[in-house]
């Protein structure tokens, strides 16, 4: 055997679906395979006008898959090193077609069809097909940049595909291949709906070693999670990212199924990588692998933003990714424990990540709450939390600089202790740093465990009616963080001065929005959602609109600034040098700061007059 063949065997053996083959089978594949080099833009293979009996695996470089022979057409997909293309045209006998070109200088390995067919007859090959094939099967048209604010109904690519519940898995998969879809729907008794997707094929048929002759009703997901037709595309995308789903049936107000949207229907090709990255996070087997997946997250946010996704959307995706890293770090830390306490606590993520407003510079705020009737080893639980944060540090997600971390006693308590603490903060917000603690816990999202163990939001639910003084002090705290007009004017006027985007502009908006949300019973939510909910109640419609617009402008400026810092090899921060901003940027920042100060002044005046919920007319503190 030649050195060339040895190297080829070694490379194939590292990548699915060849990684599970015996050495003899690998040698047989390598013996008939060949390496080829391609220049940037060079055609590798044409599955549109021809039906080559072969597949390819990328060794170096990148390959772009196009819907036609034109090199300028929109891409269906990008294949990175280790990726395989060509198996679907081969297995579907030409029904799936595209052309492949080198996106940069590329080395690709050609493997003849007869060898390939034997690969896909074993369980590993079928598993690979179930996991990867549908990305190309469902690519009937190239992904396009689409407005994130359009209703999801407008993005449905085709009429829904229904099959009877007694259809076999074999026939369902054949129908999916023939129709170029990655799902089928099943009507259930009443108005119920089931769905069978690539994920069900992978997890409930292949992995479970279930016969392909069973009816799909045995392996479908039911009831299927649906989405109303008037939901905004960006919010549906976030639902998909958080739930891990890649298909959402869309229903009109009468319950009629209009079709199914996939993540590719909602976002551009670059955004699809968010699902790939999220999957790599979920599959990380140790902290080192998790770090490798986490290293891709910031680049993902950069690509999203530069690719046209607004700062709000890019920040939300970044937050979901950070949450996924936290969750996986927690799972890895718990993997070696079987004690009862591992199932009797809830991990809470707080701060900007919980509000879905994270930036590359964000750190991780955390807390824990455990069941009162559980068998809790508190020291072990806190040691576990310290281990989680050690992994997060490795992944580039540092712990909160102010010490809001789950391994400290202040932020790890039983559910009843949290409830009692919250009651104390409501009675005396100045005790036990009540305003700060309640602000942190009100933003919290459960990352793992029973959400009912997060007892602080319930304690604050009746705050406007039962604790108006505590609500008034929340407002006072929000207004105390207002920007100082004189010093801000000085800072903004000095072209060589610096400005802290977070402390001097964003935090006052976040705090005011949190108070405004509390007045209308909104607990954990994003800043813009809180402002929208409180518009016309705690604050005027006009002021809510101003704060939302300024907040979104500041997030754009902040993300752009941090991306520039990352590109220059610097750690991302919120400190901008005024002289480095463009004239337009300086004007936007100046106007935004002025608008925030004006809103705070108007809210203060309304509060002093008793025209705001949770305030007292004529109070000298206002």
Reported confidence tier of residue 92, pLDDT bands at 50, 70, 90: low
Reported confidence tier of residue 272, pLDDT bands at 50, 70, 90: low
* Cis previous bond, 271, omega within 30: no
**Lookup: tokens for 401:** 């600089």
Of residues 543 and 341, the one with the higher pLDDT is 543
Beta bridge partners of 45: 100
**Lookup: tokens for 348:** 């809470």
- For the chain, the C-alpha Rg in angstroms (whole number) is 27
Contact 352, 319 (CB under 8 A): yes
**Lookup: tokens for 103:** 């996106």
Closest alpha carbon to 413 in 349, 461, 367: 367
**Quick check: 94 pLDDT over 80?**
no
Q: Give the chain's end-to-end CA distance (angstroms, integer).
A: 86
Contact 84, 110 (CB under 8 A): no
What is the percent of the chain where pLDDT is above 70? 82
Q: How far apart are CA 185 and CA 260, in angstroms?
A: 9
What topology is assigned to 3-118 in CATH?
Answer: Jelly Rolls (2.60.120)
pLDDT in tens, 4-25: 578 888 888 887 777 767 788 7
Burial class (CB in 10 A: 0-12, 13-18, 19+), 117: middle
Phi, psi (rounded to 5 degrees) for 363: -105, 180
pLDDT in tens, 469-499: 888 888 888 888 666 534 444 445 444 578 8
Q: What is the DSSP letter of 523?
A: -
- The CA distances from residue 391 to 295, 338, 365, in Å, are 13, 20, 14
Helix (H/G/I), strand (E/B), else coil: 108: strand
Q: 189 — alpha (psi -120 to 50), left (phi > 0) or beta?
A: beta
Tokens 């997909």 found at: 77
* Mean pLDDT value across residues 568-595: 85
**Lookup: tokens for 281:** 């996070």
Closest alpha carbon to 512 in 542, 486, 538, 549: 538
Helix (H/G/I), strand (E/B), else coil: 180: coil
Where along the chain do its domains lie? 3-118, 152-262, 270-460, 468-608
Whole-number pLDDT of residue 142: 36
Q: How far apart are CA 29 and CA 561, in angstroms?
A: 50
Reported pTM: 0.63
Q: How far apart are CA 336 and CA 63, in angstroms?
A: 41
Tell me which of 3.90.700.10, 3.40.718.10, 3.90.1300.10, 3.30.460.10 is the CATH number of domain 270-460: 3.30.460.10
- The CA distances from residue 180 to 166, 174, 251, 300, 312, in Å, are 21, 10, 22, 28, 33
Whole-number pLDDT of residue 616: 38
* Mean pLDDT value across residues 81-105: 73
Tell me which of 1.10.20, 1.10.10, 1.20.120, 2.40.160 is the CATH number of domain 468-608: 1.20.120
- The CA distances from residue 587 to 311, 489, 578, 622, in Å, are 19, 12, 10, 31
pLDDT in tens, 300-359: 888 777 766 778 888 888 888 899 999 999 999 998 788 888 889 999 999 999 999 999
Q: What is the mean pLDDT of the chain?
A: 81
Give the containing element (helix H, strand E) for 171: helix 169-178
pLDDT in tens, 512-540: 999 999 988 887 788 998 998 899 888 99
Question: DSSP alpha helices (H): ranges in 13-92?
Answer: 23-32, 87-91
What topology is assigned to 152-262 in CATH?
Answer: CBS-domain (3.10.580)
Contact 428, 388 (CB under 8 A): no
Contact 151, 231 (CB under 8 A): yes
Q: 93 — alpha (psi -120 to 50), left (phi > 0) or beta?
A: left
Helix (H/G/I), strand (E/B), else coil: 405: coil
Contact 143, 272 (CB under 8 A): yes
């Amino acid at each position: 055997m030649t050195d060339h063949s040895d190297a080829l065997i070694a490379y194939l053996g590292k990548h699915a679906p060849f990684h599970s083959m015996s050495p003899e089978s690998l040698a047989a594949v390598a013996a008939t395979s060949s390496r080829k080099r391609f220049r940037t833009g060079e055609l590798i293979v044409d599955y549109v006008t021809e039906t080559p009996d072969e597949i390819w695996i990328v060794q170096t470089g990148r390959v772009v898959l196009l819907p036609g022979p034109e090199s300028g057409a929109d891409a269906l997909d990008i294949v990175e090193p280790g990726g395989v293309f060509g198996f679907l045209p081969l297995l579907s006998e030409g029904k799936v077609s595209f052309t492949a070109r080198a996106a940069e200088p590329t080395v690709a390995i050609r493997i003849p069809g007869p060898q390939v067919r034997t690969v896909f007859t074993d369980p590993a090959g079928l598993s690979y097909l179930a996991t990867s094939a549908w990305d190309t099967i469902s690519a009937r048209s190239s992904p396009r940049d689409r407005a994130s604010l359009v209703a999801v109904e407008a993005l449905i690519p085709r009429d829904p595909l229904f099959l009877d519940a007694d259809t076999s898995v074999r026939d369902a998969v054949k129908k999916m291949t023939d129709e170029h879809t990655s799902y089928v729907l099943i009507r259930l008794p009443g108005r119920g709906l089931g769905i069978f997707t690539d994920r069900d094929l992978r997890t409930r048929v292949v992995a479970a070693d279930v016969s392909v002759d069973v009816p799909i009703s045995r392996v479908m997901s039911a009831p299927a999670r649906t989405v109303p037709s008037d939901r905004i595309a960006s919010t549906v995308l976030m639902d998909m990212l958080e739930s891990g789903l890649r298909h959402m049936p869309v229903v009109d107000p009468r319950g009629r199924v209009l079709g199914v949207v996939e993540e590719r229907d909602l976002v551009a090709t670059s955004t699809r990588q968010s699902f790939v990255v999220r999957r790599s996070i979920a599959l990380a087997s140790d902290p080192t692998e998790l770090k490798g997946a986490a290293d891709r997250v910031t680049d993902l946010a950069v690509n999203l933003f530069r690719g046209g996704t607004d700062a709000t959307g890019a920040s939300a995706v970044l937050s979901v990714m950070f949450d996924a890293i936290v969750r996986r770090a927690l799972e890895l830390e718990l993997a070696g424990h079987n004690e009862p306490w591992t199932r009797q606590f809830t991990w809470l993520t707080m701060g900007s990540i919980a509000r879905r407003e994270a930036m590359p510079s964000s750190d991780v705020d955390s807390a824990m709450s455990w069941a009162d009737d559980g068998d809790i080893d508190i020291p072990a639980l806190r040691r576990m939390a310290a281990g989680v944060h050690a992994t997060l540090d490795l992944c580039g997600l540092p712990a909160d600089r102010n010490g809001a971390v789950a391994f400290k006693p202040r932020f790890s308590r039983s559910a009843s202790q949290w409830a009692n603490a919250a009651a104390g903060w409501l009675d005396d917000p100045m005790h036990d740093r009540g305003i700060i603690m309640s602000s942190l816990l009100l933003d919290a999202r459960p990352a793992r465990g029973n959400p009912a163990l997060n007892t602080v939001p319930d304690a604050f639910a009746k705050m406007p009616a039962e604790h108006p003084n505590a609500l008034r002090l929340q407002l006072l705290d929000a207004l105390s963080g207002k920007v100082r007009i004189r010093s801000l004017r000085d800072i903004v006027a000095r072209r060589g001065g610096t400005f802290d985007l977070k402390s001097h502009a964003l935090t006052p908006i976040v705090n005011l929005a949190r108070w405004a949300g509390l007045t209308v019973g909104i607990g954990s939510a994003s800043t813009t959602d809180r402002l929208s909910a409180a518009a016309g109640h705690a604050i005027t419609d006009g002021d809510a609109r101003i704060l939302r617009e300024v907040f979104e402008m500041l997030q754009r400026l902040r993300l752009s600034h941090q991306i520039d810092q990352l590109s220059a090899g610097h750690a991302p921060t919120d400190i901008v040098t005024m002289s480095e901003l463009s004239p337009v940027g300086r004007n936007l920042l100046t106007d935004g700061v002025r608008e925030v100060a004006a809103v705070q002044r108007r809210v203060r005046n309304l509060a002093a007059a008793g025209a705001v919920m949770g305030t007292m007319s004529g109070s000298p503190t206002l």
